Amino acid sequence: MKIKYILLIFAATLFFSCNQSDVGIFYGLEKEVKIKDNSLSNNLTIGSMAKNGSELYIAAGRVYTKTSGSSEDWRKVSSPSGYDLSTSLAANATDSNVYAVFFDTDTAEKALFKMPDGGSWTKVTDPIFDGSIEFVKSAGSFILVSTRINSNDGKLYYSNGGAFTEVSNITMIGSEFNVIEFDTGTGDTYWISNHSILYNGVDFDNMANVLELDGDKIIKGLSEPSDPSDPYIYLSYWNRDRSRGYIKAVDGASINAEGDSEIYNLNGLTTFTTEGFEFLLCGTGGRGYRQISSPSDSRLDLATPKNDVLSENYTSAIELQNCVVLDFFVDGGDDGDLYALTATTGLWKNSLSGGTRVWSIE
Amino acid sequence: MKIKKYSIFIIIFLLSFSLINLHAQEEEFPENEENFEYIYGLGDQIFTIKAGLIFPLFLSSPDFNFTSTNLSMGGAGSLEWSTFINSRLALGGEFGGMFAFSPNDRILYMMPLTFKVTYFYRKYPFEFPIYCGAGISFNSIDDAFHLDFILKPGASVYWNFNSEWAFGFNLVYWWVPQIYTGNGDVPASHTRFGNFLETTMSALFHF
């Protein structure tokens, strides 16, 4: 009789599991392949990434560079005298400069610098920015810089290679922003998000408020559609009140579609096309990235990636699956190299290797 | 990373041998020792400590597809207590653990807790126990955890150093059916049967 009870206890254990992922332990081991690891440190936080000419740059505390498409190691770029760290940079095709925000750890002063390929850093002093310089991003032929005045207020400036001008009709809440350039067919070329508000306009002197979410909803990422003929953009936002993340498709007018909510924080967005398959990728706060294949305004539900055409070795990239992906960078357009910028888990690269696309860590 | 793995193996080996040496130093050799066969009976007990290596053999799916475990050779160890119910048969329990490395240096941990039946063949001064353990195994890698059934048939060779201590070598097969029903997040198609071979040295204490 006692043996019966023992057997019952054993049988009950067969169905007990606690998995963060949806992959069986032995099955995951069976499918695991060695992830290629290049020389860049794997515990870096990659604040931003840009391409200037043929050179790639990342801001990861220090600024690193390497030639696009090469197998060479990342090289440290000397910081400007008196400054130490950089977590934000962008490239401007108009003046072929890399712009980076540097931080002096002794004085806590921040400053904007620019550098041509192979050149040295020059401090940008025109104008004298109002507040502490925080982020620099690019859109088309423009560079945008945000500053923080206090915990609630900031300012946004733009430049096409010359002096910076304030984007006067955007009242910044804080200093975080996203910017993309995409024409939805109605002349809306530039899209800027700040806090819970989305703006668009044909130039930075004429930006209009086209979508205002509740104050508890923070826009985290913007992306153009994978099909350029689609007349809307995608955005990711985090609802602080409900602790839910969402993907939206909006055109600033009639299209305002939303996918199912996700229980994890959502970060930067990008679209990427490879082998004819379109993907919308969204970084998450602790679960790597999520994706939507063939996204559209009626297809906005994020899914967990599998070993698919985008990544044949996704189930082996365990650290990528469990990290914070802040944003993405696409080098080379369709079928090019896709980078995932992570917090404390380095720079991940998705590229063609041996006929299939695989993730490796730089 | 290889250095780290080898260091762990070396430490386990050194620990197991140092245990043997320690106990050997504590024992005094009786003068004019007689040759006789130790006989155990109801109520006699044994305690065993094991340490050594484990070799991941293969995985199989329910439809008999055999694949590599993708694991490195690992370390294993256990503690066992048993009591004799007659001169040749003992019942007891064993708690152990193993670890092995995946291609990306993730570490698989398996910690079996088994009920064990042992039958002893004897040819003084050697003993040849054969046994089978059945129980549960706490299996984890990274953040994933699964509780599985485990079957551990095996055999050992022991040399009786004296009436209390014996030292031996063990060969134990681990069969771990990792069953997913498909009711949770993991699909039923991820069901796999793990097969491992444990090779350990052990010290056995009769009391």
- Please tell me the predicted confidence (pLDDT) of residue B91: 94
> What is the average pLDDT score of chain B?
85
Q: Which range among A303-317, A338-352, B104-118 shows the weakest confidence by mean pLDDT?
A: A303-317
Chain A residues within an 8 Å CB radius of B187: 22
Whether residue A32 contacts residue B102, with contact meaning beta carbons closer than 8 Å, is answered with yes
Q: What percent of chain A has pLDDT over 90?
A: 72
Averaged pLDDT, A121-127: 90
Residue A113 pLDDT greater than 60, yes or no: yes
C-alpha A179/C-alpha A157 separation (Å) is: 12
Look at B149 and A14 and tell me if their CB atoms are within 8 Å: yes
Cα dihedral A110→A115→A120→A123 (10° resolution): -40
Alpha-carbon torsion A167, A171, A177, A182, what sign?
negative
The residue behind tokens 């043996």 is: A3
Calculate how close chain A gets to B190, using CA atoms only, in Å.
5
Confidence of residue A16 (pLDDT cuts 50, 70, 90): low
Look at B104 and A27 and tell me if their CB atoms are within 8 Å: no
C-alpha A72/C-alpha A49 separation (Å) is: 17
- Please tell me the predicted confidence (pLDDT) of residue B162: 86
C-alpha A282/C-alpha A178 separation (Å) is: 14
Nearest CB to A26: which of B106, B142, B194? B194
Which residues are CB-contacts of B18 (< 8 A; sequence separation ≥ 6)? none
Does ipTM exceed 0.90? no
> What is the average pLDDT score of chain A?
90
C-alpha B168/C-alpha B160 separation (Å) is: 9
Partner residues linked to A266 by β-bridges: A284
Residue in B with minimal Cα distance to A24: B190
- Please tell me the predicted confidence (pLDDT) of residue A17: 52
Confidence of residue A343 (pLDDT cuts 50, 70, 90): very high
Residue in A with minimal Cα distance to B68: A30
Residue B39 pLDDT greater than 80, yes or no: no
Averaged pLDDT, B93-114: 95
The residue count for chain A:
362
Q: CA separation (Å) from B140 to A29, A74, B111, B115?
A: 12, 35, 9, 21
Long-range contacts of A232-238 (CB under 8 A, 24+ apart): A232/A184, A232/A297, A233/A180, A233/A182, A233/A184, A233/A191, A234/A269, A234/A271, A234/A280, A234/A295, A234/A300, A235/A193, A235/A198, A235/A269, A236/A266, A236/A267, A236/A268, A236/A269, A236/A282, A237/A196, A237/A213, A237/A266, A238/A265, A238/A266
Whether residue B195 contacts residue A27, with contact meaning beta carbons closer than 8 Å, is answered with no
* Residue pairs between chains A and B whose CB atoms are closer than 8 Å: 106
Look at B104 and A6 and tell me if their CB atoms are within 8 Å: no
- Please tell me the predicted confidence (pLDDT) of residue B20: 47
Chain A residues within an 8 Å CB radius of B193: 26
Look at A30 and B108 and tell me if their CB atoms are within 8 Å: no
Long-range contacts of A277-281 (CB under 8 A, 24+ apart): A277/A309, A277/A310, A278/A226, A278/A227, A279/A226, A279/A310, A280/A223, A280/A226, A280/A234, A280/A247, A281/A328, A281/A338
- Please tell me the predicted confidence (pLDDT) of residue B120: 93
- Please tell me the predicted confidence (pLDDT) of residue A336: 95
- Please tell me the predicted confidence (pLDDT) of residue A5: 65
Which residues are CB-contacts of B198 (< 8 A; sequence separation ≥ 6)? B52, B53, B54, B55, B76, B98, B152, B154, B170, B171, B172, B173, B174
Calculate how close chain B gets to A72, using CA atoms only, in Å.
23
Confidence of residue A361 (pLDDT cuts 50, 70, 90): very high
Confidence of residue B142 (pLDDT cuts 50, 70, 90): confident
**What is the DSSP code string of B93-109?**
EEEEEEEEE-TTS-EEE
Look at B186 and A19 and tell me if their CB atoms are within 8 Å: yes
DSSP SS3 for A353: strand
What is the number of other CB atoms lying within 10 angstroms of the CB of residue A170? 21
Chain B residues within an 8 Å CB radius of A322: 142-143
The residue count for chain B:
207
Calculate how close chain A gets to B183, using CA atoms only, in Å.
9
Interface of A to B at Cβ within 8 Å reads 6, 10, 13-30, 32-35, 316, 318, 322
- Please tell me the predicted confidence (pLDDT) of residue B168: 95
Residue B19 pLDDT greater than 50, yes or no: no
Whether residue A51 contacts residue A57, with contact meaning beta carbons closer than 8 Å, is answered with yes
Look at B59 and A30 and tell me if their CB atoms are within 8 Å: yes
The residue behind tokens 């350029």 is: A228
- Please tell me the predicted confidence (pLDDT) of residue A13: 55
Q: Which range among A171-180, A190-199, B29-38 shows the weakest confidence by mean pLDDT?
A: B29-38
Averaged pLDDT, B79-105: 93
Which residues are CB-contacts of B3 (< 8 A; sequence separation ≥ 6)? none
Averaged pLDDT, A291-316: 91
Residue among B204, B130, B113 nearest B162 (CA): B204
Which residues are CB-contacts of B46 (< 8 A; sequence separation ≥ 6)? B80, B81, B82, B83, B84, B90, B92, B204, B205, B206, B207
Which residues are CB-contacts of B69 (< 8 A; sequence separation ≥ 6)? A26, A29, A30, B56, B57, B58, B59, B100, B194, B195, B196
Nearest CB to A34: which of B104, B183, B189? B104
- Please tell me the predicted confidence (pLDDT) of residue A190: 93
Confidence of residue A215 (pLDDT cuts 50, 70, 90): confident
Residue among A130, A25, A197 nearest B178 (CA): A25
Residue among B137, B144, B136 nearest B107 (CA): B144
Cα dihedral B26→B32→B38→B39 (10° resolution): -120
Whether residue A143 contacts residue A158, with contact meaning beta carbons closer than 8 Å, is answered with yes
Q: B1, exposed or middle or buried, with CB in 10 Å at 0-12, 13-18, 19+? A: exposed
Residue A314 pLDDT greater than 60, yes or no: yes
DSSP SS3 for B8: helix
Confidence of residue A127 (pLDDT cuts 50, 70, 90): confident
Residue in B with minimal Cα distance to A11: B149
Task: Count CA within 13 A, CB hemisphere, residue B162.
Answer: 13
Calculate how close chain A gets to B124, using CA atoms only, in Å.
34
Averaged pLDDT, B40-63: 93
